[in-house]
Structure 1
């Protein structure tokens, strides 16, 4: 099955304008922009036929082409990354069997997260879309709870049924737990990793649906699938000693750089 990875990137982020071009310094002191680090994460995934950056902004296009990325220009009207991936896939001919949306704010995404995600979707013909979830340890859960305490909209959490079909995604920390966890303890909270794999028919249908109340309230694009009765498959992935965090706010830059230093990632 042919696989496309599209990296949607826009300049006019509400929470962090210009975020794709923010420099991140690795363990050796080398600085690369967020979009370049996301592209390099995508290029490390095995079994992929093409990787493109999908954007509507010439500044991002110029930066991406400078480090060797293929760019697909999309319209400014795309409401989110899924709509941008749908437009990019159509512009490329719409012939890929699986389209992966590796959002341009997740430079710490290990290659096996995406590989396991694609395998999970391949093995679930009843699902039109799949997304990874990572069980939080005590440290990760504390980070999520602290973001909410400080009034920041940070990572997303997921709850899912026994067949791994998503029940809900939220920017609140769900499910509620009153228990205290040590740093390395496993918790009942799953961090949603901002990557999606779509079958082409589900991806093409997505922009034709109206934005629903849950998507509007949470600001989470995957809820549109659920509000239209489509199954979203949650694929549990393993950290294997890697820390994971997304760049949602300016405060996340030093956190991600500290993680890269600790993991010796350049």
Structure 2
């Protein structure tokens, strides 16, 4: 199987328990769960051979099966989505060329983000992992800074070298950039989009590694790869007029619903 897409979902989120089952109302007024909207987003991606939801919770399993999606059960021992993806692949007993992790809290992820991501990993044989980055507009940068000033953990930012290999990821807004930017002006900050494409060998090794110090401090699972000397390719994607945000906190629900209304997403 060339490409397997896994949507990891857990009910016992530290910051937002029950998050996958939270309802989001779209532009048409229709309410659907976060995990359903993430599944809907996955089904618009071309070049994906199979899509599964990976969870350790029967409530999520039953809900997902109720709208016709495929579910693979994983253990409660998974510490993050990457470990859950690794266990899902092992439990399925398959050998894909690439495994995509579309995290279940990013229902506004456009299909081309994932398509460009898979193409980027295929074009870079030396990379173990690939992940998308989106140049922040002045408005998005301001939203990230406002979250941090309010003590909320919002989006993640990324910095990378001339070869597009990741140098660091942080929940702080990096790099520091003095000055103001208009709402529609490009800024020097790149928002890390919470999607990953893994080489199966690197993914299979990941759960056996101890959690790294930086991973623990930032709460960012991808840092374990960097701390182990593995390469992550940052693939710059284009918004094409679409807004993007992840559901990290309860306060993000009205923000996502507002974005869906503005973009006409049902």
Common topology (TM > 0.5):
yes
Offset of 1:14 from its aligned partner?
0.5
Equivalence for 1:112: 112
Q: Over residues 8-63 of structure 1, what are the superposed CA-to-partner deviations in whole Å (9 max), with x where a residue is unaligned?
A: 00000000000000000000000000000000101110011100000000000000
* Contact 1:158-1:168 within 8 A present in 2 as well: yes
Kindly report structure 1 stretches of 4+ aligned residues shifted beyond 2 Å.
none
Matches within 5 A, 1:24-173: 24-173=24-173
Partners in 1 of 2:81 and 2:20 — Cα distance?
Answer: 13
Is 1:217 matched with 2:223?
no
Q: Residue 135 of structure 1: SS of its match in structure 2?
A: strand
Q: Over residues 69-122 of structure 1, what are the superposed CA-to-partner deviations in whole Å (9 max), with x where a residue is unaligned?
A: 100000000000000000001111131110000000000000000000000000
Offset of 1:179 from its aligned partner?
1.2
Offset of 1:156 from its aligned partner?
0.1
Offset of 1:161 from its aligned partner?
0.2
Equivalence for 1:237: 237
Partners in 2 of 1:208 and 1:94 — Cα distance?
Answer: 19
Q: Over residues 214-246 of structure 1, what are the superposed CA-to-partner deviations in whole Å (9 max), with x where a residue is unaligned?
A: 000000000000000000100000000000000
Offset of 1:208 from its aligned partner?
1.1
Unmatched segments (≥5 aa) in structure 2: none
Offset of 1:126 from its aligned partner?
0.2
Equivalence for 2:249: 249
* Contact 1:131-1:196 within 8 A present in 2 as well: yes
Partners in 2 of 1:179 and 1:90 — Cα distance?
Answer: 49
Partners in 1 of 2:128 and 2:229 — Cα distance?
Answer: 11
Partners in 2 of 1:179 and 1:169 — Cα distance?
Answer: 22
Q: CA RMSD in A?
A: 0.6
Partners in 1 of 2:186 and 2:153 — Cα distance?
Answer: 23
Is 1:12 matched with 2:12?
yes
* Contact 1:94-1:200 within 8 A present in 2 as well: no
Equivalence for 2:206: 206
Unmatched segments (≥5 aa) in structure 1: none
